[in-house]
Every structure is written in C-alpha cells, then in structure tokens.
Amino acid sequence: MRRVPAVAMFALLLGVGVVAFAADEDRTTTGVPREQWRPITEIIERFTGMGYQVQGIEGDDNLYEVEAIDPNGLWVKAYVDPVSGEILKERSDDD
C-alpha cells in the first residue's frame, strides 16, 4: 500500500475546507440558505398588521433587522427569524 505524504494530505484537507466554506457562503449562521427565508414584503406586512410603521428592513447574517415605529409611537429595532418570521428580540432606540 502506498503512503500519502503528510504535506499532500494537508493540502487535500485544506482544499476540501475551502470548497466547503465557499459552498456555505450563501447560508446564514443558522445554516438556512437565503432562498428559504421569508420575503421581506411578508415581514413588512406582518409588522404593518400589528400596527407598526416600518421605516427600514435589512437582512443581515442570520436574521432580519426591522426598524419601525411601534403602535405606541416609539422607535424600535426588532430582530426577526428569517424562516419562521418570529420576533426574536425587540428593543426601543432609547435602550
């Protein structure tokens, strides 16, 4: 049986790691591809239905960040799960 030199094995493993990293580039840190995220329009409609005035929304890393005025007139930033649409955390800009 032929032995593979350590340098060749390291290069092979490094190459596999680079390919795996590149394949995950379109995935979030939760491992969900962006194609499986809910559309931004759906998130906006959900917030509007709850009485919020959405001022901005952005898809970052593993969630949506929504800036809005809540039903009480306070500026808030909400962090939303991109797959379920669940509000994970909400804070007012005064926090």
Sheet of 53-60, strand order: 53-60, 63-69, 75-80, 87-92
State yes or no: pLDDT of 26 exceeds 80.
Answer: no
Backbone angles phi, psi at 88, to 5 degrees: -85, -35
pLDDT at 18: 40
Look at 7 and 93; give whichever has higher pLDDT. 93
State yes or no: pLDDT of 28 exceeds 50.
Answer: no
Q: Are 67 and 80 in contact (CB under 8 A)?
A: no
pLDDT at 2: 52
| CA gap 90, 29 in Å, rounded | 20
Q: How far is CA 64 from CA 25, 43, 53, 71, in A?
A: 17, 9, 16, 20
pLDDT at 27: 44
